[in-house]
A and B are shown apart, each in its own frame.
Chain A
Amino acid sequence: MDNSRLSTVLAIPRRPWFWAFAASAIAYFATLSLTEGRGGGELLSAALTFASFSAIVGLGQMFVITLGPGNVDLSIPATMTLAGTLSLKFMDGAAALILPGLALALAVGIGAGIFNYLLIRLLRIPPIIATLSASFLYQSLAIWWNRGLRIKPPEALADFSTGSLAGLPNLTIIGVLIALMSWVVLERSLFGRWVSAFGQNTRAARLSGIPVETVRAVTYIASAVLASFTGYLLASFSGGAALNMGTEYLLISIAVVVIGGCSIAGGNSNVPGIWGGALLMFLVVSMLNSYGFGAGVRLIMTGAIIIAIVAAASGKGRSA
């Protein structure tokens, strides 16, 4: 009994997500060492809050990337922006419309997901170009809808999105809940099995009787819905939707999937790693900030981390 528990503990460093969390911890303490421990709570809370956004869109991107080579959703930023703008304009600051506003945001996500999938299926084009051209349309739609006006979210919603419960930011709780749900779907449900099978070997999945086209459609819709939900939360959190609010999440969503230890070759997803990657992305930036490095060094470090992780991971994974 004890022995098996020991081996479980020893196995932890071999988990792909371990390194993302370990690196996050190092970045966290490296930042704190500068302030001699002051502000640790604030830093943690900020990290948990901002990482929530990256984690939720990252989970959507993870589902898509798990489908295997060539599958990636480039429309995430535009979908976020569109959902954020549309829902905030619809609510127009009225507390009564918070839930209908959420429903509208999610509907935007479902619509975008279906549109993405139809482009892929009907035009038979690679997902990259399909989601890319669709994102141009969403972006324009968002611009046209509110012409850059910044409409404040309803007070109650803004309070909720910046508030916390028992010391944990509300957004973090939501992000963790979504991560838990994703984990259950991927590890315990039939659909999760199908997604993984699709990503490992689409042909074999089809020959095993899996309805592969349904799997692909649902996955792209899920990614768009998570993106639209994040757009809704982010717009509420930052006091209004901005037209460029989604931009940085294109690269981040892919980066957290890679850093979190999911296989770009498909079939292998890793939910805890998404959170690890999201925390790391934020903490590295704040560490470099506090050490006085500018935006330039931060970007270079981020790029170097991504490339190093992919190059290091390629040795195993693919050979199978």
Chain B
Amino acid sequence: MEVATGAGRSIPDVPLVALSGACVHFGAVRALDGVSLSVSAGECVGLMGHNGAGKSTAVNVINGGLTPTDGEVRYGHEDGKNGTGVARARACGIRSVFQELSLCPNLSVLENLRVPHRDLTGFGWRRTAAGRIAGALDEIFPGHRIQPGMIVGDLTLAERQMVEIAAGFAGGPTPPRLVILDEPTSSLDASIARQLLDHVRRFCTNGGAVIFISHMLGEVFEVASRIDVMKDGKIIASRPASEFTQQGLIDAMGHVAAEKTAARATVESSQRIGEEVLKTPEGLNARKGEVVGLAGLAGHGQAEALARYFMSRSGKPGRVKDPEVAFVAGDRGRDGVMPLWSILQNLTLTHLPSLTRRGLVDAVAEQALGADWKKRIGIRTDNLDNLILSLSGGNQQKVLFARALASTAPIVVMDDPMRGVDVGTKQEAYDMIRTEAANGRTFLWYSTETEEVRQCDRVFVFRNGQISAELTGDGITEENILAASFQMQGAGA
């Protein structure tokens, strides 16, 4: 089918974008491992996969934000003026609407269009911009109440998302040919999500193409003509949507041949677990000696729930010597590591108040604590006075574990602590957590990996900032977690 845009000659059957064997490596991590994928005019591709399956990396390669380390990206509408990266992709009509909002909150709705639309200059540009964005908003979301002159920062989250979507579809110097929507409905209510889905279908019927990423299975089935399932940086299934069922899709995303992890030490859990020691407004609760998991797709409120709980129970100057809670960060750079410090200084930070005399740090006691934990947790270094950044990621993570466990805090909060950690270290960490739990410590453990979640005694699954399921014992299975993470019934929340 011809692209109904009128902007230049388009040859039928030439895909708008084609990846062949694209690989992206971040250090040792293979975020994209030989992906071949093409999108033609009129197609709506549902891109599915669990956290870290490589969806966003694939999207970034398509929109020019990342250059693949290996393999090739080709666009269907190259106009010869080959810019590079983002500019080149835009010139070919590729637009992306990101999950994290990329609007400028200080500008008005129409002014925000100025940033991507380079042709908006000169006298009367505001009228042109207002026309474009209002046209797109009217077309996609009839009945919306957004004026082009409104400041984006004053809009609600849903309205901002609507603006962002409309900007993706708005006509400009090059018309949109392929629009990538990454979780576009995450903050839209049902009726507005409905309008968007209708528009996506209309857009594709008229010769546009869409890549649609969503955790709402119903939505995906409703709009997608083809579904590509990603796992571990590869596309493992690519079939017309009609050949999938919802259950089949969930199975495809999960472990195809689920390797059985070692039987959990559930036997003694009954005698280990004591009275309830914490309860949060969201409905999280945990008992003494219990390992409580928080699961679900990334970004559905688990980390926020943990942070809120931790913040409310710590930071009081009077209690630094016996803290109520300790924290193990997963995002080491943002939340954990002190980059200018040695391993030892990083390790002892939380417990340090108990190692001081008259305000001065007892260097001998600090060394002893460091040596003790180095042995217990197996930090691979010949000298604890080396800089923390000289360690590998996994060993840095061990230091952060030791920082929390060395304290006397009865509750330990862990925010996806195994990110980028190798298998061996993971096993050591599991053992450690079990030993500590047996000694009466309580763990709150957010993880994006099912294997880790299965180490827990009880699991809360989060969706859209709320607890959508509570699983215990044998009920903690990948299937149950996935089912509670994805919205099964129809479109909309």
Q: How far is the CB of A74 from chain B (nearest CB, A)?
A: 26
Q: Which of B338-356 contact A (CB under 8 A)?
A: 338-341, 345, 349-350, 352-353, 356
| Contact call A207/B336, Cβ cutoff below 8 A | yes
Is A250's CB within 8 Å of the partner chain B? no
Q: Given that A207-B329, A209-B314, A267-B340 are contacting pairs, would A189 and B334 also be in contact in the complex, using a CB cutoff of 8 Å? A: no
**Contact present for A207 and B361 (CB under 8 Å):** no
Bound: A214/B339 CA distance, A: 22
**Residues from chain B with Cβ under 8 Å of A6 in the complex:** none
Given contacts A184-B360, A189-B359, A193-B352, contact A209 B320 (CB under 8 A): yes
Q: How far is the CB of B403 from chain A (nearest CB, A)?
A: 7
> Is B407 part of the contact surface with A, judged by Cβ < 8 Å?
yes
0/1 per residue, B319-335, Cβ < 8 Å to A? 01001011101000011
Instruction: Give the distance to chain B from A187, nearest Cβ to Cβ, in Å.
Output: 9
Asked if A201 is at the interface of the complex by the 8 Å CB criterion, the answer is yes
Which of B310, B349, B389, B409 has the most A CB atoms < 10 Å from its CB?
Answer: B349
Which residues of B180-230 have CB atoms within 8 Å of chain A's CB atoms? none
Q: Does B337 contact A (CB under 8 A)?
A: yes
B320: which A residues are within 8 A, CB to CB?
Answer: 209-211
Would A209 and B326 count as touching, CB distance under 8 A?
yes
Number of A-B contacts (CB under 8 A): 82
* Chain B proximity of A152: nearest CB distance (Å): 39
Q: How far apart are A144's CB and chain B's nearest CB, in angstroms? A: 36
Contact B310 A189 (CB under 8 A): no
In the bound complex, what is the Cα–Cα distance between A196 and B352 (angstroms)? Answer: 14
Please report which residues of chain A, range 192-221, place their CB below 8 angstroms from some CB of chain B when the two chains form the complex: 193, 196-197, 200-201, 203-214
Q: What residues of chain A lie closer than 8 Å to B81, measured between beta carbons?
A: none
Pairwise interchain contact A267-B338, C-beta atoms closer than 8 A: yes
- Interface presence of B317 (CB below 8 A): yes
Taking a contact as CB atoms under 8 Å apart, the answer to whether B315 and A200 are in contact is no
Say yes or no: B315 contacts A188, CB within 8 Å: no
Residue contact A196 to B340, C-beta cutoff 8 Å = yes
Chain A: which residue is nearest B413 at the CB level?
A207
Q: Is the CB of A188 within 8 A of B349?
A: no
Could you say which of A206, A208, A213 has the most chain B C-beta atoms within 10 Å of its C-beta? Answer: A208
Q: How far is the CA of A191 from the CA of B409 in the complex (A)?
A: 21
Q: How far apart are the CA atoms of A197 and B361 in the complex, in Å? A: 15
> Are B315's CB and A209's CB within 8 A?
yes
Assembly CA distance A196 to B325 (angstroms): 22
Give the shortest distance, in Å, between A236 (CB) and chain B (any CB): 30
Which of A190, A197, A206, A211 contacts B338 (CB under 8 A)? A197
Binary flags per residue of B50-74, CB closer than 8 Å to A gives 1, else 0? 0000000000000000000000000
Task: Tell whether, in the assembled complex, residue B349 and residue A208 are in contact, meaning their CB atoms are under 8 Å apart.
Answer: yes
Assess A214 versus B338: contact at CB under 8 Å? Given A190-B353, A209-B326: no
CB pair A191 B329 closer than 8 Å: no
Is A196 within 8 A of B334, CB to CB? no
Q: Which residue, of A190, A197, A212, A320, has the highest number of chain B Cβ atoms within 10 A?
A: A190
Known: A191-B359, A320-B389. A210 touches B338 (CB 8 A): no
* Closest Cβ–Cβ distance, residue A185 to chain B (whole Å): 8
A200 touches B359 (CB 8 A): no
Name the B residues within 8 Å of A211 (CB-CB).
315-317, 320
> In the complex, A208 Cα to B325 Cα: how many Å?
9
The interface residues of chain B lying within 8 Å CB-to-CB of A184 are 360
Residues of A within 8 A of B389 (CB): 320
| Cβ contacts under 8 Å, B349 to chain A | 193, 197, 208, 210
Tell me the nearest residue of chain A to B415, going by C-beta. Answer: A207
> B310 contacts which chain A residues (CB < 8 A)?
207
Docked pose: A214 CA to B318 CA in angstroms: 10
In Å, the complex CA distance between A184 and B358 comes to: 12
A203 and B96 alpha carbons, distance in the complex (Å): 31
Give 17 pairs: A residue, B residue, CB < 8 Å, sorted on A: A189-B356, A190-B361, A193-B349, A200-B339, A201-B338, A203-B334, A204-B334, A204-B338, A206-B314, A207-B335, A208-B350, A209-B315, A209-B326, A209-B327, A209-B407, A211-B317, A320-B339
With A197-B341, A267-B338 given, name 20 new contacts (CB 8 A): A189-B359, A189-B360, A193-B352, A196-B340, A200-B341, A201-B335, A201-B339, A203-B334, A204-B334, A206-B311, A208-B403, A209-B315, A209-B323, A209-B325, A209-B327, A209-B350, A209-B407, A210-B315, A210-B320, A212-B315
Residues of A bordering B, CB below 8 Å: 184, 188-191, 193, 196-197, 200-201, 203-214, 263, 267-268, 320
